[in-house]
Structure 1
Amino acid sequence: MNKPQILFVEDDTAVGNLIATTLETQNYQFQRAKNGQQAVLDALSCRPDVMLLDLGLPDIDGIEIIKKIRSWSNMPIIVVSARSDDRDKVAALDAGADDYLTKPFSVDELLARLRVALRRVRYDSQRTGDEAAVYRNGGLVIDYAAGCAYRDGQELHLTPIEYKLLCLLAKHTGKVLTHNYIISEIWGTASENMSTELPSLRVFMATLRKKLEPDQSHPQYIQTHIGVGYRMIQSNRDSEG
């Protein structure tokens, strides 16, 4: 297998050097861009596996870069930014980012987020038409053709909304989905009416987790990002089949 190729976009010298050293010590291949224009060109020419993206660049705002790349590529984009407001996180994730890491960050957390993104890349590349009909993530199995879901071999008795929520999260495993995105996908609600559906989303998510998570204090599958949304966690005990 070829080594993963990482493109990181960072104009701050100190942060850029930290990221470069971190990737180098982990034997990742990487390329660095210091502005948005170079980032888009490198994404087109190098076809990286994952992008690490700062939002506050000197020429183009990072949100615009996400939108440009999403018009032709589905590669994971992890935002690494000093912007910590929930509105900035939601804007980046709604634009198509997969994850959001706030500066200052720990090296261990950056590497953990990167491993999740790369597992998703490997999973997507290995799926065939037959495999795509059945989703497997640790002990969770979704049989799309039958419309059934199982945890550790036991069928989960889900309502139609719970099943749709589970399938949506599974489709984007490893990616943070914002409340707005989930509501629009499940209920087809216009953006101006999102706030009225948010309590319903929280209720359905709570009942889904009760059925899915053996120990809700230590979730194995659905992670909450407070004020932002939810993510399906990629299990470390993925089934081989």
Structure 2
Amino acid sequence: MAEQLLLVEDDAEIARIIRDTLQQEGYTVTWATTGLEGWEDFQSAAYDLVLVDWMLPEMDGITLCQNIRWKSDVPIIMISARKDDEDKVEGLDIGADDYLAKPFSLVELKARVASQLRRWRRYNGQAQESEESVFANGLTADWQREQVFLKGEEVPLTIKEFELLKLLAHNPDRVFSKNELYQHVWQQPEIGDSHTVTVHIKSLREKLKDPMKTPHFIQTVWGKGYRFIGETH
């Protein structure tokens, strides 16, 4: 089966050249023209590699890259006209695996893609993410079946509550702002009302019987956001 690539690029001329080149190499390429469209595409299918332009409408490439990295270890190649070392470092710091500065040769593009896919194949062959997580204080989550249990009893979470818990639990001790949670879970570029996140976190805590003042799972970091502090078994 051909490897699945996601290309997120708003410049139609550049995107067509990249897409056609990679398709000639035998890859299947999905092309998105905005950051938000790319994020929606990524959530709806399985990809082996993502190419992301830095400057994108609706959701910029840095934010998109960050959202993808919170969800997956899939290889990400950042594409940008920015050539400063500081820009490259920023892209790599938020989770990109490689950085291609425009203009680049198609030979270099093909080599970088092939290199990252080799790494990805090795990674998948060596370590598969566990479908189930078991935490102290009676919490168990089956991420594949989207089921959560507390002391053996299933907890009836909504889709958004489950996605919030999954994001927080998969990135333990990382503080997420309300805006970051909103962008990732609600798939919107900007938070419309921070109260939306607050209400869902409150409901999630109540269902997990997790007191705000002495939490076992979700901790409020005042002035910053929330983080997951559950201890794995």
TM-score by length of 2: 0.53
* Residue equivalent to 1:60: 59
Root-mean-square deviation (CA, aligned residues, Å) is 1.2
The 2-side partners of 1:61 and 1:17 are apart by 20
* Partner residue, 1:17: 16
What secondary structure does 1:112 align onto? helix
Q: Secondary structure of the equivalent of 1:84?
A: coil
Aligned residue number for residue 155 of structure 1: none
Q: Distance in 1 between matches of 2:26 and 2:60?
A: 30
Residue of structure 2 in register with 1:72 after alignment: 71
2: CA distance, partners of 1:69 / 1:125: 17
1:27 maps onto 2:30 in alignment: no
Distance (Å, rounded) in 2 between the aligned partners of 1:101 and 1:61: 16
Q: Supply the distance in 2 between the matched residues of 1:53 and 1:66 (Cα, whole angstroms).
A: 7
2:194 alignment partner in structure 1: none
Deviations 1:179-234 (A, max 9, x none): xxxxxxxxxxxxxxxxxxxxxxxxxxxxxxxxxxxxxxxxxxxxxxxxxxxxxxxx
**Stretches of structure 1 lacking an aligned partner (at least 5 in a row):** 130-241
Deviation at 1:66, TM superposition (A): 1.1
Instruction: Name the amino acid aligned to 1:67.
Output: Q
Displacement after TM superposition at 1:12 (Å):
0.3
CA distance in 1, matches of 2:77, 2:48: 11
Cα distance in 2 for residues equivalent to 1:8 and 1:66: 12
Distance 2:59 2:47 in 1: 20
State the identity as a percent. 44
Quote the Cα distance in structure 2 between the aligned partners of 1:8 and 1:78: 10
The residue that corresponds to 1:84 in the other structure is 83
CA distance in 2, matches of 1:67, 1:24: 26
Count of paired positions: 128
Pairwise mapping of residues 132-151 of structure 1 onto structure 2 (< 5 A)?
A: none
Q: TM-score, normalised by structure 1?
A: 0.52
Deviation at 1:67, TM superposition (A): 1.0
Determine the C-alpha separation between the residues in 2 that align with 1:74 and 1:37.
19
* Structure 2: runs of 5+ lacking an equivalent: 129-233
Distance of 1:8 and 1:128 partners within structure 2: 26
Which consecutive segments of 4 or more residues in structure 1 shift more than 2 A? none
What is residue 114 of structure 1 aligned with on the other side? 113
Larger Rg over CA atoms: 2
| CA positional deviation for 1:127 | 1.5
Q: Give secondary structure in 2 for the equivalent of 1:71.
A: helix
Aligned position for 1:103: 102
Paired letter, 1:75? V
Shift of 1:128: 5.7
Cα 1:7–1:128 shift into 2, 3 Å: closer
* Separation in 1, partners of 2:81, 2:20: 20
Match of 1:51 in 2: 50
Higher alpha-carbon deviation: 39-48 or 119-128: 119-128
**1:50 aligned partner, one-letter code:** L
TM superposition shift of 1:36: 0.5
Q: Distance in 2 between matches of 1:37 and 1:115?
A: 26
**Pair 1:24–1:86, CA change in 2 (3 A):** same
Residue 6 of structure 1: SS of its match in structure 2?
Answer: strand
Evaluate the alpha carbon distance shift between residue 46 and residue 92 of structure 1 in structure 2; reply closer, same or farther with a 3 A threshold.
Answer: same
